[in-house]
Structure formats: C-alpha cells, structure tokens
Amino acid sequence: MSLFDWFANRKKEGPISQDRQEREIADGLWTKCDECGVLTYTKDLRANQMVCPECEHHGRVFSDERIRQLIDAKTWQPLDTSVLPQDPLRFRDRKAYSDRLRDMQGKTKLTDAVQTGLGQVEGAPAALGVMDFRFMGGSMGSVVGEKLTRLIERGTQERRPVIIVCASGGARMQEGMLSLMQMAKISAALERHRRARLLYVPVLTNPTTGGVTASFAMLGDIILAEPKAMIGFAGRRVVEQTLREKLPDDFQTAEYLLHHGFVDKIVPRTQLKQTLSQLIRLHQIDDPTVDYPAPAQLPVTQNHYSVNSVLS
C-alpha cells in the first residue's frame, strides 16, 4: 500500500482526530526506506520481509524475525538459552563490560548476540544459528562461540545441515583472546561436520566483518549472501590507507565478492527460505545408516554444475 492509497482510504473513512493521528504515527505506522526514501506502510514492509517494494533495499532484520522467516511454524526448538556471558577480564572502557551486558540484555531481551536452535525449513530438518546485530554489534564473544559450536556438534550428531546467518562487526574486544579463540573453536567443529559429509551453509547479511568473516562465515560448502550486504575483514578506510590506493565503489559488497569468487550466490531475502530448502534437499543423505564411500573413492562424473545452474 502506497502513501497515496492510504490517504485515499482515510478520506473515505472520514476525518481523523488529532489524538488518533498522533497515536498511529507514534506506533511506527510508516517506515522510510534508507536507500530511496519512500514511505511504506510498516505492515506491508514486514509482510515483504523488510525489503523495500520500490527499490528492493534490504532493511535490517533481527534474530527473532529472521527465525520466523526461515523456520516453519511450530517447529523451532531453541538451544542453550541458559548459556550466559561472563566478564573474566573485568573489562572497562567508558562503561564496565558487565554493565554493558546488562543494558544490552534489557534492551534486546537476548542473552547474547546469537540465537541457536533446531527446526524445519519447508519440512527439511536443519540446525540454525542467527546472529543479532543489536547486541553489541553482533560481536563474537565466548557465548557466541560456545552456542555456535554446540549447534554444529548437535547438527553433526543428528546428521542435520547447519545454517548460520551472519551479522557481526567481528570479535568482541571486551573479552580479548577469549573472543579470538572462538574463531578456531567454531572452525574445528565445522571441520568435524564436514568430515561427517554434512552440509554447512552460511548466509552473509549486512554487515559481516572482522573475525566472523575470517572464520566460519567463509567456510561454507555453499556461501550465500543478501544483495548489497557489506562483507569484509578490515574497514574500507583501513584497507585504503594500507594499500595507498583508491578502492572500487562496490568494494566489500556482496556483488563484488560474487564477481571475485568469494560468494557462491546472492539470494534476495524473499527467496532465501526456498533456496535453503532446495540446497538441503539436494545434499540430503536418504539413509544415514548406509556406509557411504569416502570422498576419494567416489566416481568422477563428466558433468560439472555451478551453484547458479543448480538453483536456477
């Protein structure tokens, strides 16, 4: 519904009192697109998964909404909700780390920057982890590393594909080396998952940077990304100062990474669930009790297909 249509309907319904008008505006009735500036009825925008109907700009989506978008209704089973962050370094910048954690937990109603659980994607079982940028920029600390590692191990144990939706500024500086070690910890769990011949698909959203990009975000069997997502390690300005040269305008975008082979496919959010379902079914092992041959013993086929040709 456009703004013009909304006003046309309001004229038919009669005059609007000032109290009612103020109440509706205060409740976030309209949302302005950050890209094109068009006002969209918030209810319609949410129905379109926070994708602008005019310019297809992908607005930021947080973990609760992302889970609803990807997981079939009444199949979500959250995991490790009792794992809570600690402050082993008693870190303090402008505010004590322990106070910052309490503030974030109160504002977001989350324990940390990731939610993990089991569910079904169009009927296909999967283990899903969703990072939440609201919680300290989606930074990866001990709890994020522990929950994702447990999720991957659970997926390996139950022979489920693992999907991780990445949205992070990188490792959490307030936990020092404890945050950096999560990169190796998660990567080791993914290697065991790979050796079990099971699928892992990371979904890179805006932004995916730092230690997350340098570890599990780039270890997928098939790496998906949302359109125009910012994906990189160091910031653009840092890279330019180091190289002492001007970078392309599309540097560190999903499209740039796809062109250079770092991403397998860019998938619009409205098609993400269907794409994940297709990938899961294409890589599904029908009978886990069968002793499948090791990868080196598999026959070599003459036909080779790209991800784009399989999904198109």
pLDDT of residue 293: 45
Q: pTM, whole model, 2 decimals?
A: 0.84
- Please say if the pLDDT value at position 294 is more than 80: no
Model confidence at 312, in pLDDT bands (50, 70, 90)?
very low
Mean pLDDT of 211-223: 98
Q: What is the mean pLDDT of residues 163-189?
A: 97
Q: Where residue 207 falls among pLDDT bands split at 50, 70, 90?
A: very high
Supply the pLDDT for residue 28: 78
Residue 217 has pLDDT above 90, yes or no: yes
Residue 112 CA, distance from chain mean position: 15
On the question of pLDDT at 295 being above 50, the answer is no
* Cα 257 to Cα 213: distance, rounded to the nearest angstrom: 12
For residue range 128-170, what is the model confidence (pLDDT) as tens digits?
999 999 999 999 999 999 999 999 999 999 999 999 999 999 9
Region of 219 on the Ramachandran plot (φ > 0 left; ψ -120 to 50 alpha; else beta): alpha
Higher pLDDT residue, 293 or 194?
A: 194
Do the beta carbons of residue 211 and residue 144 sit within 8 Å? no
- What value does the CA radius of gyration of the chain take, rounded to a whole number of Å? 22
Task: Say what the pLDDT of residue 3 is.
Answer: 60
Range in 5-19, 151-165, 178-192, 288-302 the model is least confident about: 288-302
Percent of the chain with pLDDT strictly greater than 70:
82
Question: What's the confidence (pLDDT) of residue 12?
Answer: 61
User: pLDDT higher for 247 or 13?
Assistant: 247
Domains of the chain from N-terminus onward: 1-57 (no CATH), 61-284 (3.90.226.10)
Burial class (CB in 10 A: 0-12, 13-18, 19+), 108: middle
Please state the rounded mean pLDDT for residues 12-33: 64
